[in-house]
């Protein structure tokens, strides 16, 4: 029978570690604080922000939200980032994306202080992730995947892992992290010739394409571990990239959608903010 790899216990374990670290920091007069920059009133952004605020306040860490209008100028956005960079009470900065078209996101990425880059947005943090031996700051979603694999004791060394998706926020950094953990990694994308072969060949299959049900029975093999990063809406319901019915028939274990990877990302955000508060103090 397929085991469900639920995100909630993983998030709870990360939060508990953060609670202990936050208490230790409080003894030194430091409260980890995340600054969230939100442009406009997008429903998804507000919901992510609410989850983050709840996660932080549960361990007595702080958040402050800066809401910018949809027609915010480049100057205004840059000034806010510069002021957060120099604000010693702020240890992490999260910018909810995508940003509106008048904003040059590349310039924003270069401006954010790498020491406070809680979602690994700037090039220096991404470069360090790729070049350094350890995994330091990383984008929250791929790091959430790694936390799930570790929490459930899924061995990576020597395993064949296929990642479907190569975006700079999910697929690519995830592939880097998996390679660092001694997995043999295949990365698939829209130009991959034989998706079903690349997927079914893997011990662990991670879907991050953003296409509902793209991973069907032909892609899944007996006893596989499936991690579904996708968040899609079909017939008014949230679903992942992996066909759930096909997964149940063949896989050894799989993350649900919702309740899998998405349930872990804000606790990773908390972890990175607490860690950067420890380093910056
Ligand atoms: P993205 O930037 O659109 O990238 C999608 C990637 O999937 C691209 O590399 C694309 O290939 C590949 N792809 C798309 N269709 C494919 C197909 N038919 N066959 C093979 N590869 C295909 O998306 P993203 O930002 O990485 O996000 C991916 C998914 O994760 C989305 O559903 C998003 O909502 C979800 N997500 C979830 C969380 C969470 O907390 N669970 C957080 C962030 C994102 P090309 O490079 O060739 O175009």
Report the pLDDT value the prediction gives residue 132, as an integer from 0 to 100.
84
Report the pLDDT value the prediction gives residue 137, as an integer from 0 to 100.
85
Whether residue 114 sits in one domain with residue 146 = no
Distance 171 CA to ligand 1 centre (A): 7
Angle, to 10 degrees, between the axis of helix 171-180 and the axis of helix 140-151?
Answer: 40
Report the pLDDT value the prediction gives residue 49, as an integer from 0 to 100.
97
List the residue whose alpha carbon is closest to atom 18 of ligand 1: 190
Measured CA distances, 272 to 69, 99, 122, 176 (Å): 27, 22, 15, 18
Query: Is 72 strand, coil or helix?
Result: coil
Query: Is 233 strand, coil or helix?
Result: strand
Instruction: Determine the Cα–Cα distance for residues 185 and 162; give it in Å rounded to an integer.
Output: 6
Whether residue 113 sits in one domain with residue 169 = no
Q: Is the CB of 211 under 6 A from ligand 1?
A: yes
| pTM of this structure | 0.96
What residue numbers bound the domain in which 34 lies? 29-119
Q: Which residue has the tokens 């079903």?
A: 196
List the residue whose alpha carbon is closest to atom 30 of ligand 1: 230
**Domain of residue 166, CATH code:** 3.40.50.720
Whether residue 189 sits in one domain with residue 95 = no
Report the pLDDT value the prediction gives residue 161, as an integer from 0 to 100.
99
Report the pLDDT value the prediction gives residue 32, as an integer from 0 to 100.
98
List the residue whose alpha carbon is closest to atom 21 of ligand 1: 189
Whether residue 177 sits in one domain with residue 88 = no
- Domain C-terminal end among 85, 119, 153: 119
Residue 117 DSSP one-character state: B
If the chain, 281 residues long, is cut into consecutive pieces of 10 residues, what is the mean pLDDT of each piece? 97 98 97 98 95 98 98 98 97 96 95 94 90 84 98 98 97 96 98 98 98 98 98 94 96 98 97 94 76
Q: Which residue has the tokens 């990576």?
A: 156
Report the pLDDT value the prediction gives residue 239, as an integer from 0 to 100.
96
Are the beta carbons of 165 and 207 closer than 8 angstroms? yes
Report the pLDDT value the prediction gives residue 280, as an integer from 0 to 100.
79
Residue 154 DSSP one-character state: -
**Domain of residue 76, CATH code:** 3.40.50.10860
């Amino acid at each position: 029978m397929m085991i469900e790899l639920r995100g909630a216990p993983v998030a709870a374990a990360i939060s508990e570690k953060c609670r202990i670290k936050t208490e230790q920091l409080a003894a030194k007069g430091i409260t980890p604080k995340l600054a969230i920059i939100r442009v406009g009133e997008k429903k998804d952004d507000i919901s992510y922000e609410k989850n983050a605020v709840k996660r932080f306040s549960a361990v007595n860490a702080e958040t402050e939200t800066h809401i910018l209008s949809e027609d915010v100028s480049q100057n205004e956005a840059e000034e806010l980032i510069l002021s957060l960079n120099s604000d010693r009470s702020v240890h992490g900065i999260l910018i909810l994306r995508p940003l509106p078209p008048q904003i040059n996101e590349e310039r924003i990425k270069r401006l954010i202080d790498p020491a406070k880059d809680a979602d690994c947005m700037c090039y220096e943090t991404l470069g360090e992730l790729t070049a350094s031996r350890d995994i330091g700051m990383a984008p929250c979603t791929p790091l959430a995947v790694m936390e799930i694999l570790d929490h459930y004791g899924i061995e990576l060394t020597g395993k064949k892992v296929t990642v479907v998706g190569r975006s700079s926020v999910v697929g690519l950094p995830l592939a880097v992290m998996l390679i660092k953990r001694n997995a043999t990694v295949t990365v698939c994308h829209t130009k991959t010739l034989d998706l079903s072969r690349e997927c079914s060949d893997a011990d662990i299959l991670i879907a991050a394409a953003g296409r509902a049900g793209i991973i069907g029975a032909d892609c899944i093999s007996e006893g596989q571990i499936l991690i579904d990063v996708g968040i899609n809406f079909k017939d008014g319901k949230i679903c992942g990239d992996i066909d759930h019915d096909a997964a149940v028939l063949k896989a050894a274990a799989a993350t649900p959608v919702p309740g899998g990877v998405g349930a872990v990302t804000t606790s990773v955000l908390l972890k990175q903010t607490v860690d950067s508060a420890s380093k910056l103090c």
